[in-house]
Amino acid sequence: MSFSRENFKLSIIVPCYNEEAVIGLTYDRLLAVLDGNQYDYEVLFIDDGSRDKTVSILSEKSGENERVKILSFSRNFGHQPAVSAGLNECSGDLAIIIDADLQDPPELFPDIIKTYFDSNCNVVYCVRQNREGVSFFKKMGYHFFYRVVNYMSDVELPLDSGDFRLMDRDVIDAYKKFGEKNKYVRGIIAWMGFTQVPFYYNRPGRADGETKYSIKKLIGLASTGMFYFSKKPLKLAINLGITALSIGLILAIKVFYEKFSGNLDEVPGWASTILTMILFGGVQLVTIGVLGEYLGNIFDEVRNRPEYIIRKKKKQD
Ligand code: UDP
Ligand code: MG
């Protein structure tokens, strides 16, 4: 690669969705960190169909600054498509993906960049040591989320690491070759290999505004993480079926035994019949559900719809 510690271009990718409460502050803090360095930079704000003042605040703040670009989606496509758009459109030798709510502090950039050059790697992924301003239940949820997704995946995904990371052009170019429409960005990057090193940090609470990740969106993310990265859920479904079948066989042996030993209580078998029906009914539905999930994903992918639609590119060269 033709860049050095002193001379490179850094792209910052900031997905934003209805972030009017915080985006002005984010802009100021980002630019304060980026301005006055030796290296060149660009900031790409990917507006994921915001319906508030996010874009007008950004346009006003950036004015004639050619280094700041705003890409607006035609509607809300989601955080992952927004990150993808940033990676597709950025032109830096290095790129950093960062949340718009300052939970990923821009002040860490110099240390992250130093880690990149010192360890001669391709990706520096930031790992949350501590989450401030997050409720106990949500923390438990995240803890569970990363471990379940990891268990289900064939690829080793770094635990407690979101999309806050630095990657170089080799990785970005490799990322652009991934054809799936529904992308789990951190999973794809982990899957690629290269040399990836962790960077530990304490995650502060949101600087302002509310979370834009609804439970539905989080479940969607977990589902992509699980179903796009392995066939383990299918194997689990088979195991569940085998377990249920084994229980059924044991029950059958018991019934036969009681029948032939003359102990079978013919009429009062209601509870065991209902229980067996519920058990097998449940197992069948779960198994069909798992199949359905894969089928739905295949349906999504074969339709081959665009991952996102850009409404306008502001100050894009
Ligand atoms: N975001 C987005 N589209 C969405 C939801 C979220 O671009 O549909 C952005 C959001 O503006 C923020 C980042 O994704 O920059 C992470 O979202 P948030 O901070 O709300 O998630 P949390 O930190 O609560 O998990
Ligand atoms: Mg956040």
Q: Which residues' Cβ are closer than 6 Å to ligand 1?
A: 15-17, 19, 48, 76, 78-79, 82, 99-101, 103, 211-213
| Region of residue 49 (phi > 0: left; psi between -120 and 50: alpha; otherwise: beta) | left
Cα separation of 165 and 144, whole Å?
22
Please give the distance, rounded to the nearest whole angstrom, from the Cα atom of residue 166 to the centre of ligand 1: 18
Please give the pLDDT value at position 316.
45
Protein residue with least CA distance to atom 11, ligand 1: 16
Q: Which residues is 16 bridged to in the sheet?
A: 47
Please give the pLDDT value at position 314.
65
pTM here?
0.86
Low-confidence ranges of the chain (pLDDT < 70): 1, 133, 264-267, 270, 314-317
CA–centroid distance for 202 within its chain:
19
CA distances from 150 to 116, 180, 284 (A): 25, 20, 25
Protein residue with least CA distance to atom 1, ligand 1: 79
Of 70, 182, 213, 214, the residue with max ligand 1 atoms within 8 A of its CB, to mutate for a pocket test, comes to: 213
Confirm if 100 and 79 have CB atoms less than 8 A apart. Answer: no
Which pairing describes strands 94-97 and 68-73: parallel, antiparallel, or unpaired?
A: unpaired
Angle ∠(150,152,158) on CA atoms, nearest 5: 15
Please give the pLDDT value at position 64.
84
Please give the pLDDT value at position 231.
83
Please give the pLDDT value at position 221.
86
Q: Which amino acid is at 275?
A: L
Q: What kind of architecture, by CATH, is found in domain 9-230+306-315?
A: Alpha-Beta Complex (3.90)
